[in-house]
């Protein structure tokens, strides 16, 4: 598709999608607590969330989480805690994304899990569960989803859980979000020296609301940075948020976007920007693509670090960014899995086509470059994975036909 060109002066109020991260955590807790005890408002319409909701209600032995990483990991832990035999499959790409660290931890707790094809990867068969210990340790630097998956089920285990994380903890805000959502349900987590302790507990019945998605907000911040005129209002985002990607609002100040928080959301306006950019994305890895593309579009030198998890996302996001930005004349230097260096300089945008690699965040991260020139994109519908109304919202910032 050809990406519609935004207005030269932005002026729109965007409804925003509900948080997929919050929704998925709430769904697991509701499934374990009992759907009759928990009501959820403003649940995300993202494909991954709807898929998780359907799989949690399914009576089929085979559960296919498709290409959804969070869904796969949370579902695996839920099947164990619920002592629910299942064959968990996944798309070809999902079967290339590691899950061995989580499976090893679940097996240590007493889960009977076998790999159907390749060791450490889906498909996997869950045969049953009888807890043999409450103590387990795992690396903390690979994926916070493994940690969250274990914490979400911990209160429902007969012996509870003592989870020790070894080394650096990656994406810590997502772990904090998990703990906060557990607290909303009345479930307590204590932490000391990177050991999380959760006793067997019963959740409190109630009604809980999902916040709008800060991860999705980054694309609109990027568009404002690149256009540099007007204002955008993003509805129902809070300054005091559980979501780690709230940090993007502070980082975008350096790229020329100021945020004013109002009662029902946040208003974006242009401001001065710095001549170069540097940031660590270890705890907000989903924003790395957005910032890389935005810095390239602004033509400023940039250094992005803390990127190891990008290699095992929906695609190898480091390689994908490097390949796609090269089309515009931006040669990104990659240092292993740790850093991307952007040289600065003007982009040649007009007429370029973006390959999305079946990755929703590739599509949305590159869309704001349409502010600089004509741009097309294959498989633009991939945004449905996390932000199904993205192109509808995009139309709100584009010229209306006469």
For 146, phi and psi rounded to 5 degrees? Answer: -65, -45
> What pLDDT is stored for residue 400 in this prediction?
67
For 309, phi and psi rounded to 5 degrees? Answer: -75, -15
Say if residue 402 is exposed, middle or buried (CB neighbours under 10 Å; 0-12, 13-18, 19+): exposed
pLDDT single digits (tens) 350-362: 889 999 999 999 9
Say if residue 271 is exposed, middle or buried (CB neighbours under 10 Å; 0-12, 13-18, 19+): middle
Contacts of 239 (CB under 8 A, 6+ apart): 246, 261, 266
Contact between 392 and 361 (Cβ < 8 Å): no
Sign of CA pseudo-dihedral 393, 394, 398, 402: negative
- CA torsion 171→174→175→176, rounded to 10°? 120
**Catalytic annotation present for 239:** no
SS3 25: helix
Q: Is 227 left (phi over 0), alpha (psi -120 to 50) or beta?
A: alpha
Report helix angle 47-57 to 20-33, nearest 10. Answer: 10
> What pLDDT is stored for residue 348 in this prediction?
87
* 236 DSSP 8-state letter: T
> What pLDDT is stored for residue 402 in this prediction?
34
User: Which residue is listed with tokens 């569960």?
Assistant: 129
Look at residues 389, 351, 342 and name the one whose alpha carbon lies nearest to residue 370.
351
> Which of 48, 67, 245, 286 is an active site residue?
286
Say if residue 284 is exposed, middle or buried (CB neighbours under 10 Å; 0-12, 13-18, 19+): buried
Domains annotated on the chain, with CATH = 10-17+212-395 (3.65.10.10), 20-209 (3.65.10.10)
- Name residue 62's beta-bridge partners: 87
- The pLDDT profile of the chain, 402 residues, written as one tens digit per residue, is 999 999 999 999 999 889 999 999 999 999 999 888 899 988 998 889 999 999 999 999 999 999 999 999 999 999 999 999 999 999 998 999 999 999 999 999 999 999 999 999 999 999 999 999 999 999 998 889 999 999 999 999 999 999 999 999 988 989 999 999 999 999 999 999 999 999 999 999 999 889 999 999 999 999 999 999 999 999 989 999 989 899 999 999 999 999 999 988 999 999 999 999 999 998 898 899 999 999 999 999 999 999 878 887 778 998 999 999 999 999 999 998 889 999 999 998 888 999 999 999 999 999 999 999 999 999 999 999 889 999 999 999 997 653
pLDDT single digits (tens) 134-191: 999 999 988 899 999 999 999 999 999 999 999 999 889 899 999 999 999 999 999 9
Contact between 332 and 305 (Cβ < 8 Å): no
> Reduced to 3 DSSP states, what percent helix, strand and coil does the chain have, rounded to the nearest 5?
40, 20, 40
SS3 109: helix
User: Which residue is listed with tokens 């911990």?
Assistant: 154
């Amino acid at each position: 598709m050809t990406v519609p060109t935004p207005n030269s002066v932005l002026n729109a109020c965007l409804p925003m999608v509900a948080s997929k991260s919050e929704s998925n955590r709430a769904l697991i807790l509701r499934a374990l607590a009992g759907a009759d005890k928990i009501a959820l408002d403003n649940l995300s319409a993202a494909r991954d969330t709807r898929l998780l909701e359907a799989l949690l209600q399914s009576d089929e032995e085979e559960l296919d989480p498709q290409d959804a990483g969070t869904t796969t990991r949370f579902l695996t832990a839920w099947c164990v805690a619920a002592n629910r035999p299942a064959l968990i499959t996944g798309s070809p790409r999902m079967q290339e994304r590691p899950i061995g660290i989580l499976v090893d931890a679940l097996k240590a707790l007493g889960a009977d899990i076998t790999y159907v094809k390749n060791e450490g990867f889906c498909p996997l068969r869950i045969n049953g569960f009888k807890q043999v210990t409450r103590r387990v340790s795992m690396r903390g630097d690979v994926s916070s989803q493994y940690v969250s998956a274990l914490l979400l089920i911990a209160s429902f285990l007969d012996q509870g859980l003592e989870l020790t994380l070894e080394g650096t903890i990656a994406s810590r805000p997502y772990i904090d979000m998990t703990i906060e959502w557990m607290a909303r349900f009345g479930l307590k987590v204590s932490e000391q020296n990177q050991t999380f302790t959760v006793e067997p507990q019963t959740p409190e019945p109630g009604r809980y609301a999902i916040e709008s998605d800060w991860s999705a907000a980054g694309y609109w911040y990027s568009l404002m940075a690149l256009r540099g005129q007007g204002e955008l209002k993003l509805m129902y985002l809070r300054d005091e948020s559980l979501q780690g990607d709230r940090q993007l609002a502070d980082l975008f100040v350096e790229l020329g976007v100021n945020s004013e928080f109002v009662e029902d959301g946040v208003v974006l306006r242009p401001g001065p920007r710095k001549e170069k950019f540097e940031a660590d994305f270890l705890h907000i890895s989903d924003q790395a693509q957005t910032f890389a593309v935005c810095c390239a579009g602004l033509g400023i030198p940039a250094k992005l670090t803390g990127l190891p998890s990008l290699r095992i996302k929906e695609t190898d996001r480091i390689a994908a960014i490097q390949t796609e930005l090269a089309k515009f004349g931006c040669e990104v230097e990659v240092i292993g899995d740790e850093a991307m260096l952007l040289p600065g300089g003007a982009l040649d945008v007009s007429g370029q086509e973006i390959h999305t690699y079946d990755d929703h965040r590739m599509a949305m991260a590159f869309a704001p470059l349409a502010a600089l020139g004509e741009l097309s994109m294959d498989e633009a519908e991939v945004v449905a994975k996390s932000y199904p109304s993205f192109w509808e919202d995009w139309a709100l910032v584009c010229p209306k036909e006469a």
